[in-house]
Structure 1
């Protein structure tokens, strides 16, 4: 009988193996899969706005909960259907520390996937506005503008901190998905961490590549430079700290490092 799920130590090994696979994707595949992931996350963001605009006047807690409840469809599509998401790929640092990939390989993946994520996000945001999904003065547009206002109102330091916690939860969602052995289990495992980060208002750099340009296309007064320097880049820094340092490195110390030390001792005795 096959196992229903992996142990934390086995998930750590699977994370390293996945990092190696990601590092060896071709340039074209990284960009294509990055564009798809940007599109998928943006679909989750669009669903979030759609349900939030319906419940805005009822209760803010319920509104955030329901918006968060639909947003995880984006990560589900990335992990199960296939996509390369920068924030999830921050876990590649575990393969780097284990010397299975090089720094150049990881940075190449991060850069190309990040670019692809932005392309996918911006295309989806622009196409929605073109298609009339967000009519100026309507509840959808007003909700999108409110979200953007909140994101641009926070300080850079606040955005970095929120970015740390956002990607701790996103990478834990991916971590749990690696441990699940069927699609239903992966769906449940990912849904709650992602729903929680959205509900709590944390900052996800790729999601913000959809929310902020969407608002700009709707007339929100913010320059591209302000958007990047005040929000997306600080969120990215926080995401790297949370998903590229806190989760993979601490779990590496706990689950992988002792095994590697034991392997070295075993080889020296032989």
Structure 2
């Protein structure tokens, strides 16, 4: 199993970030739609396992399968590009600017939401037999998650908002570590193991992931949960996106760049005086002329 050294790792991360801004809008959207769909289907799977077995740890152990599959297939998540593209921008990669970075983030956000919302609709149909019956036990569990992570935060006011933001920061510190782990080796098994650990941690700890929430909260609303779209946006999605950005860039990307990015070495200039002195020392000694020729 080959290991990529940190200095080479940063080179790979910056190259990956630069590559993402060169995709067409259609390519970026497709990559993001598929990434959001696969991840949130895994979230539905994990909640199902946790609910039916009564073992949340088992759900957390299985959830990373979605994250691993989407990265092995080359799809994108907003949480990942929050780390990779700023690194490429810091490294001054050609074509990477503030404008291209924001454009990519906007397209990936939109694509992730389309993918996650599609899964939310499909799962709502699945949990209610096409909206002809009350939600199943798993559907009720998803509804409660949506209620607790919006109204539950709002009940604590500023403290609730701070808690939400911190959970979002910690979430992408782990998720982006999983993204980085993908580049730590060129061995598939090594990539799987490296990604599995931080993703399992974030899910079990209940940290806030903006794309997973794009599934959980629309699902809750479709299943009759007691919160509103504005509750979802103000007391979860918007602060979660901001926290994910801070966690991915400040806690993962920037430290790696500051610690391991290659620095161009300036050639040492030879001082003029020593150079002249060295030349003089090497020159043959000339005899002194005592007088003029007669």
SS at match of 2:225: coil
For 1:137 and 1:119, the matched residues in 2 are separated by 23
What residue is the counterpart of 1:67 in the other structure?
59
SS at match of 1:116: helix
What residue is the counterpart of 2:106 in the other structure?
111
Matched, 1:227 2:232: yes
Maintained 8 Å contact 1:37/1:78: yes
Maintained 8 Å contact 1:52/1:143: no
Matched, 1:125 2:117: no
Unaligned runs of 5+ in 1: 57-62
Instruction: Tell me the alpha carbon deviations over residues 111-156 of structure 1, each in whole angstroms, 9 at most, x when there is no partner.
Output: 1001000000001110122234676353111211222223111222
Residue in structure 2 matching 1:252, options 257, 263, 273: 257
What residue is the counterpart of 2:35 in the other structure?
37
Maintained 8 Å contact 1:118/1:206: yes
For 1:98 and 1:133, the matched residues in 2 are separated by 50
Matched, 1:156 2:161: yes
For 1:7 and 1:196, the matched residues in 2 are separated by 24
For 2:70 and 2:127, the matched residues in 1 are separated by 26
Give, in angstroms, the shift of residue 55 of structure 1: 2.7
Maintained 8 Å contact 2:161/2:235: yes
For 1:136 and 1:170, the matched residues in 2 are separated by 34
Instruction: Check 1:34–1:19 CA distance in 2 against 1; reply closer, same or farther (3 A cut).
Output: same
Matched, 1:85 2:77: yes
Instruction: Check 1:186–1:29 CA distance in 2 against 1; reply closer, same or farther (3 A cut).
Output: same
For 1:245 and 1:192, the matched residues in 2 are separated by 20
Q: Spell out the pairing of 1:97-108 with structure 2 (5 A cutoff).
A: 97-100=90-93, 101-108=96-103
Instruction: Tell me the alpha carbon deviations over residues 219-248 of structure 1, each in whole angstroms, 9 at most, x when there is no partner.
Output: 012222221111011111110000022211
* Count, aligned residues: 257
Instruction: Check 1:269–1:106 CA distance in 2 against 1; reply closer, same or farther (3 A cut).
Output: farther
SS at match of 1:179: coil
Larger Rg: 2
Residue in structure 1 matching 2:20, options 19, 22, 41: 22
For 2:229 and 2:223, the matched residues in 1 are separated by 14
SS at match of 2:183: helix
SS at match of 1:159: helix
For 2:8 and 2:44, the matched residues in 1 are separated by 35
For 2:249 and 2:237, the matched residues in 1 are separated by 17
For 2:98 and 2:175, the matched residues in 1 are separated by 22
Q: TM-score, normalised by structure 1?
A: 0.90
Maintained 8 Å contact 1:205/1:235: yes
